[in-house]
Amino acid sequence: MADKLKKASKAHTRYYLADGTLVPGATTITGLLNKPALVKWANNLGLQGIDSTKYVDKAAAVGTLIHALVEAHITGKKADLSDNTPLEIEMAEVGFKKYLEWEKQHKVEPIFNEKGFVSEKYKYGGTLDFYCKIDGKYTLVDFKSGKGIFNDHFLQVSSYANLLTENKHKVEQIMILNIGRNEDEPFQHKEIPMPTVRKYFKMFKALLQVYYIKRDLEWR
């Protein structure tokens, strides 16, 4: 399971410029930010006698499966559940039902999903979850699973919005849909104003500079 999750992870996708130059993915760039809250969270799990690594692996499996169920629904295909445990499937179906309830309240017209792009201008790549028209507006949708929506999520989608516009796709609104993995984790729908997106993209470009400077310095 762990190997398959790694292969399916967007962070492991390779992105190349038109001249064949390898460039980093957006998740690599956002990963440069320190996340002290994660250290505290892992420590709290340890105090409860819970192995944080195993917990994260299990949560990742459920989150990946929720994403697969939503993607299958969008594309009209059948999700492959053969490698998942009954508990993972049960938890993922809870999240999937939350998505379906949200979808009933909107007119969703799929355009494409899980599509990779590269920025020739800024030299990075990324794979978008879902691009569609929602209630008549061209919309970038990013799916998350977990306890909430956080600032680094805004940073990530700002980079995706630029990939779309740079590659001649219209973006009228941006949404993050956080799909809880169980009844204790709520479904959250967050629309991000475009002026805010532009501010986050300034931060993303600063991190890009850090990445390339560290690479030139052969930082270890």
Domain spans, the chain:
2-216
- Provide the strand spans (E) within the chain: 15-16, 22-23, 108-119, 124-134, 137-144, 173-178, 188-191
Give me the amino acid identity at 185.
E
103, amino acid identity:
E
- CATH code 1.10.3470 for 2-216: no
Between 185 and 159, residue with greater pLDDT? 159
pLDDT at 148 over 50: yes
pLDDT in tens, 5-26: 334 444 468 999 999 999 999 9
pTM of the model: 0.81
Q: How confident is the model at residue 35 (pLDDT cuts 50, 70, 90)?
A: low
Q: Look at residues 123, 215, 107, 214 and name the one whose alpha carbon lies nearest to residue 166.
A: 123
CA dist 196 and 87 (Å) reads 39
User: What does the pLDDT read at residue 54?
Assistant: 47
pLDDT digits (tens, 9 = 90+) for 52-67: 444 444 567 788 888 8
> 151 near 63, Cβ under 8 Å?
no
> Of 41-50, 121-130, 136-145, which gets the smallest average pLDDT?
41-50
Residue 113 has pLDDT above 70, yes or no: yes
Instruction: Give residue 186's pLDDT.
Output: 77
**pLDDT on residue 59:** 63
* Per-residue pLDDT, 79: 87
Choice between 45 and 108, residue whose per-residue pLDDT is larger: 108
H or E element, residue 51: none
Q: What is the rounded CA–CA span in Å between residue 201 and residue 205? A: 6
Neighbouring CB atoms inside 10 A of 191's CB total 11
Cα pseudo-dihedral 201, 205, 211, 217, rounded to 10: -160
pLDDT recorded at residue 185: 77
Return all residues near 66 (Cβ < 8 A) that are at least 6 apart.
92, 95, 96, 99, 143, 145, 179, 181
- Report yes or no: 206 and 122 within 8 Å, Cβ to Cβ: no
How many Cβ atoms are within 10 Å of 51's Cβ, its own excluded? Answer: 12
